[in-house]
Amino acid sequence: MIKKYLVRTRALMVATILAFTTMACGVATTKEAADKGTAQDTAREAEEEETLENTMNSSAFGASTASDKEETVYVMTDATGAPNEVVVSEWLKNAEGTKELNDATDLSDVKNVKGNGTYTENADGTITWDTDGSDVYYQGKSDKAVPVEVKITYYLDGQEMSPEDIAGKSGKVTIRFDYKNNDVKTVTIGGKETEIYTPYAMISGAMLDTERFSNVEVTNGKVISEGNNYVVMGVALPGLKESLGIDDEDLDELTDKTGEDLDIPDYVEITADVTDFKLDMTMTYASGNALSDLGFGNLTDSLDIDDAEEKVDELTDGTTKLVDGSGELYDGTVTLQDGTSQLYDGSIELLDGTKALANGVLELQGGTADLVEGVVKLKEGSSALLNGANSLKDGTSQLATGAGTLKDGTSQLATGAGSLKEGTDKLATGAGDLKAGADQLSAGASTLSEGASSLNTGITSYTNGASDLATGIAQLDAGLKQLQQSVAGSGDSAASLTTLATSLGTAKDSVDKQLIAAIDQKLAAIANSIGYTGDYSGLGAALTTSASACQTAYQSYFNAYCQELYSAGLSDGKDQGKEEGYEEGFADGKAKVQEEADQLRTNATSTSDSDDDLSDGLEDEEQPEDNDGTPDDTAEPQGDDTEDPSSGDEGAPAGDEQAVSDQASNKTLDTEIRLLSGEDAATKIAQIQQGDNYKHYVEYYTKYMALTNAASTVDSLLSLKGGLETLSTGLGTMKAAVEASSTTTASSMTALVTGINQLVDGADKLNAGAQLLVSNNSTLTNGSSQLAAGASTLATGAQTLDNGAGTLANGANELNNGAGTLADGATKLDQGAGTLADGANQLDAGAGELASGAAELDNGVQTLSDGSVKLNDGAVTLYDGAIALNDGASDLSDGACDLNDGAVKLMDGAKELADGLVKFDEEGISKIAEVFDGDLEELNERLSAIADAANDSSSYGGAKDDTKTSVKYIIKTAGISKKD
């Protein structure tokens, strides 16, 4: 029974030694900590120090979660380990979140290093911190001796050298760390006074540059390759062998019996081949809580002799469970390795996805830049639309005014036509009366002729009535003259009708042969310019189709032109240029582009003001056609190896139009370049503008503007032609009606005037003869003969007058009928003018609404422009985020790879651990029993004394009696480098 207990107890002691001696092995799995110290050239030494400290912390025992106060003592030494300065960092834990914490300290120059809390010194020597519910971190200095010391000795090719002498040398170097444990207590063990050392675990490390050091080895430690450095660490337990009462011979015997390399090191030695020796620093970590951190805080409880049997059974069961657990641990590590492998595969997929996301966001950013550019163009178009709508409103207002004036004219025409009808009614009535009088005159003239003949035979009777006849002849002469004047007046009216008919014919000829013919000529020129052969009513649609094809072509060439700018490297410095371009150049550039683009449109529109120029411009714009005259929409933007499907340089704008186009395009692109890159891109733009994409962009843009304006001109010409044709028809109707009356009347009136003139001449002669007859009866015979002859002539003239009066009556009736037709047409024309005036007013109102809508559209496009700029900024920010996400995914992938490698190593280690524990259980216990033979009580007392010494380790910087304190020491040596 006692023999078994001795065996198990000594096995526990060996396990304790093994735990201490394998502490440094933990550094083999500390790559994660080492990764934290990846050095940057600008802060290499500081980060190497952080890396080494993190690695040592992760390899050591860790912080004590049960302590109220954690204390880290930093000892700054020279290159040999001689102390220069001691700085202490204190961490007061405020687990209950109180407003104040009471503490005691022996430090000087105390200051809060995390937060704004202050402290108050109390009368009993303690201090009270104002915590506001948080932990307190403070720092101070001390001149007390530290409980552990390190001495560093340097050798080159076996010869000891000082730090100053070894700097810059090359050869086989040895760096030896020796430790001195000053924390020793005297206790009684087995009735004898025995020295027991506080069980400090000392871990020393250094960062060695791989370009200077090679073939690095360390005793009691590990060497880790980390980037451009070797992380070298070793462990020592100064005073532990003395406290256990074990010497080197006992350890050698244990090694022989167990097959395990059992040692309790008290130094660390690093050897390496070096070129140009340089050492930034070394660091030694010391902790007095090694036993508790290893789980041996209650070590002596397991050595209760009164319960030996139970302890042996528990140890046996524990060993069995440990073996079983190691197997389960191995199985778990296999599962872990499978999971880390899947994690690594997933991280690769995530990395691919983030790369795709970054590429997609880059494309989005390019699209938003195109959107900004397109919105600028859209703003130009909306402004042009607004200007056009305002011009249209002015035109419709003038049209409405003109239509009102036309309505007034047609009303006057209708009134005049009515008056003319009344006049022709009177003319017809007068002509009838004239016919009746002419009939009577003809009958009287015949009677007069007969009487004149009778007069020749009855002169006597005639002489008696000569006075009466003379008076009658005078009266007849006066009446004939009045008739002559009346007929002459009628002759003037006929001339006026003829003149009216002539004027109407002249006006109609002017409308038909000049205005309508000129419009047809202009329409023919436009149709011929695009090869259109159909009815003119479809010409506008053909022009619109051609304009759409040109619009698609110039937009495509413009996008290709912009892509040439991006490909030429003009997008470098985009982030800086974005802000600079927007803040300094975008607003001004956009205003100038707007102004010059408007000028370009004005120049293009001005070509439509002269139809000859317009048709010439269209004829110059040669373009592929299909059978119906529509431009072939097959033009594509040109790359480096693609030829323009159109005819070379034909159609390129010239003169001022070219200059304005270049200026507008340059301003647009210069603003875009400044927005994207903030660099002077004038030279590159000039080079790229010599290429086909830019030339075709200007060519098709000019075609598009010319075709659009031509389509608008065709619509206006067709509308004007229709109105002129209606006017020509009305003029023809009026001319025909007037001609129908005026032709007959003029002929008849001419004959009538001739007859009347002859009659008047005869009447004059008759009157003269009658007077002569009265005054000289002797000449009566001759006069009567002459009277007979004149009477015959009068009869003939009267008959002619009667015939002319009939013709006049017929013409007056026809004229009256034509005047009625004219009055009806004038009334209809007046009604049509009223409808035209109403339509013009409605068109004017619609143009006003169009102008208002265009203004709203222009404002909306401005808002869209502002939003597109913000969208572009957001796309840039999103791209930056995608890049950051991709970097993070890359880091995750690297970490997953490292984790997978670690899991593989852990799996291998677990397998080795399981095998080792089985071997330890089967072979170790019996072999250890042969080595230890008695003195169980002494061993128990030594272990208890070591545990007590560890538990009694007190605060270095001072603490209250009831404060649980954990202390660790970090000893940092100065670096060694060759003096310049």
Taking only the tens place, the pLDDT of each residue in 246-261 is 877 777 776 666 666 6
In this prediction, residue 25 carries a pLDDT of 46
3-state secondary structure (DSSP) of residue 60: coil
61: burial class by Cβ within 10 Å (0-12, 13-18, 19+)? buried
DSSP string, 545-581: HHHHHHHHHHHHHHHHHHHHHIIIIITTTHHHHHHHI
- Of 641-655, 721-735, 958-972, least confident by mean pLDDT is 641-655
In this prediction, residue 594 carries a pLDDT of 54
Q: Cα separation of 797 and 910, whole Å?
A: 155
Per the model's pLDDT, the better-predicted residue between 618 and 706 turns out to be 706
Express each pLDDT in 546-562 by its tens digit: 999 999 998 999 888 87
**Torsion (CA) 876, 877, 880, 885 in degrees, nearest 10:** -130
CA dist 927 → 14, 208, 313, 917 (Å): 11, 41, 19, 15
- Of 350-354, 491-495, 849-853, least confident by mean pLDDT is 491-495
| pLDDT tier for residue 129 given thresholds of 50, 70 and 90 | very high
CA dist 586 → 599, 660, 662, 829, 869 (Å): 20, 20, 19, 58, 10
Express each pLDDT in 881-915 by its tens digit: 888 888 888 888 787 787 777 778 777 776 777 67
- Of 92-101, 111-120, 229-238, 304-313, least confident by mean pLDDT is 304-313
Express each pLDDT in 89-119 by its tens digit: 999 999 999 999 999 999 999 999 998 889 9
| pLDDT tier for residue 748 given thresholds of 50, 70 and 90 | low
- Of 51-55, 627-631, 768-772, 847-851, least confident by mean pLDDT is 627-631
What's the residue count for the chain?
A: 980
Does the structure show a pLDDT above 70 at 667?
no
In this prediction, residue 510 carries a pLDDT of 78
In this prediction, residue 9 carries a pLDDT of 46
Q: Cα separation of 735 and 504, whole Å?
A: 5
| pLDDT tier for residue 294 given thresholds of 50, 70 and 90 | low
| pLDDT tier for residue 544 given thresholds of 50, 70 and 90 | very high
Q: Cα separation of 288 and 966, whole Å?
A: 8
Does the structure show a pLDDT above 80 at 459?
no
Calculate mean pLDDT across residues 514-525: 85
Per the model's pLDDT, the better-predicted residue between 664 and 69 turns out to be 69
Does the structure show a pLDDT above 90 at 142?
yes
Express each pLDDT in 568-585 by its tens digit: 654 444 444 444 444 444
Q: Residue 959 — φ and ψ, nearest 5°? A: -160, 160
In this prediction, residue 583 carries a pLDDT of 47
Scored b (16 or more CB within 10 A) or e, 919-956 reads ebeeebbebbbeebeeebeebbbbbbbbbebbeebebb
- Of 366-380, 614-628, 751-765, least confident by mean pLDDT is 614-628
- The answer to whether 966 and 64 are in contact (CB under 8 A) is yes
In this prediction, residue 497 carries a pLDDT of 61
Q: What percent of the chain has pLDDT over 90?
A: 20
- Mean pLDDT for all residues in the chain: 74
Structure tokens at 172: 């086989």
Query: What are the structural domains, with CATH classification, of the chain?
Result: 152-195+206-281 (no CATH), 308-437+801-939 (1.10.287.950)
Q: Which residues contact 107 (CB under 8 A, 6 or more apart)?
A: 88, 90, 140, 141, 142, 957, 958
Three-state SS sequence of 374-416: HHHHHHHHHHHHHHHHHHHHHHHHHHHHHHHHHHHHHHHHHHH
CA dist 59 → 26, 62, 916 (Å): 5, 8, 22
Express each pLDDT in 182-222 by its tens digit: 999 999 998 899 999 999 999 999 999 999 999 999 998 99
Cβ neighbours around 120 below 10 Å, total = 11
Name the helix (H) or strand (E) containing 348. helix 308-457
Q: Cα separation of 543 and 324, whole Å?
A: 92
Per the model's pLDDT, the better-predicted residue between 16 and 273 turns out to be 273
Q: Cα separation of 126 and 109, whole Å?
A: 15
In this prediction, residue 128 carries a pLDDT of 95
Tell me 513's DSSP state.
I
| pLDDT tier for residue 48 given thresholds of 50, 70 and 90 | low
Nearest residue to 477 (alpha-carbon basis) of 798, 801, 763? 763
Calculate mean pLDDT across residues 28-35: 38
Q: Within 13 Å of residue 721, how many CA atoms lie on the same side as its CB?
A: 17
The pTM score is 0.39
In this prediction, residue 687 carries a pLDDT of 78
Express each pLDDT in 428-453 by its tens digit: 787 777 677 667 657 766 765 676 56
Name the one residue in this structure whose structure tokens are 């900024």: 873
In this prediction, residue 166 carries a pLDDT of 96
| pLDDT tier for residue 945 given thresholds of 50, 70 and 90 | confident
Most confidently modeled range among 77-91, 113-127, 408-422, 640-654 = 77-91
